[in-house]
Amino acid sequence: MPRAVLIAFLISLTGCSPSEEQPVGSPVQVTLPSDKAQAKSRDEFTIVIAADPWCPHNCLTGSAREGYSIDMAREVFAAAGYDIEYLNVSWARAIQLAREGRIDAVAGAFTGDAPDFVFPQEPIGLSQTNLYTNAASQWKYQGIGSLKGQTLLAINGYSYSPELDAYIERNLNDPNYVWILSGPAPLDRAISLLDQRRADVFVEDELVMNWALQTQSNLPPPRNAGKFYQAPVFIAFSPTNPKAEELAKVLSDGTRELRQSGRLSEIMASYGLPLLSVD
């Protein structure tokens, strides 16, 4: 069975429960072809990338628009002779699978998400993170201290900023301060909890929130309570992959070429987005 198909099959077995994180089974045993020069081998020339849907950065696998970062990766790596296999799992599971060497990379990563991973020099995009409340709230973000008295929603395995990550870690066991959301649709769940006033504040990327509200008319729009953090976004490679440095360089070089040629502007425009400056 080809490597990517085998991985997808095993992940489907270990990821059946939609409500909570499940332990991942034993690592996939990969047998590489004996002839390393076989350019058509999927084992050597297929890059398996996983992430939870975080559209428009990376979206649902198999959809007409899988996200600008996946489109970029497909074009860059196709030019270098690679295929991309893109899978959707929860973010915490994606990080775990990459650390175990069962996939090659994760999409939509901040450097704080997995500092042990191999990051390209060139980011694929930029994330502007905001804090959101229910529509009737008057609360405004004025620094970490202003979170006192608020119940914060965060997604399992996400890194937000050094300061907020430390705040979440300090208050992880106090549900009056922090709730951690897992499962296949944490964004929808967070918006629902805000609307029901069961929690007070949710931290999310601005493009992701806007995309969700534009594409899901059933979601009650939350209120933007202030900009929080801005950071570059990457496709990051498994630290156990011996080709990680090489793949990161291919992606960096290819991303620069897409930007210089104007092709990156075309990809972003297909999602209704401007070309984001990452300088």
**pLDDT one-digit tens code per residue, 264-278:** 999 999 999 998 766
pTM for the full predicted model: 0.82
Answer yes or no: are the C-beta atoms of 117 and 106 closer than 8 Å: yes
In the three-class reduction of DSSP (H, G, I as helix; E, B as strand; rest coil), residue 237 is classed as: strand
Reported as a single tens digit per residue, the pLDDT across 175-230 is 999 999 987 689 999 999 999 999 999 999 999 999 999 999 999 999 999 999 99
Using N-to-C axis directions, what is the helix angle for 206-215 and 186-195, rounded to 10°?
80
Question: Can you tell me the distance from the alpha carbon of 248 to that of 252, in angstroms, rounded to the nearest whole number?
Answer: 6
DSSP classification of residue 268: H
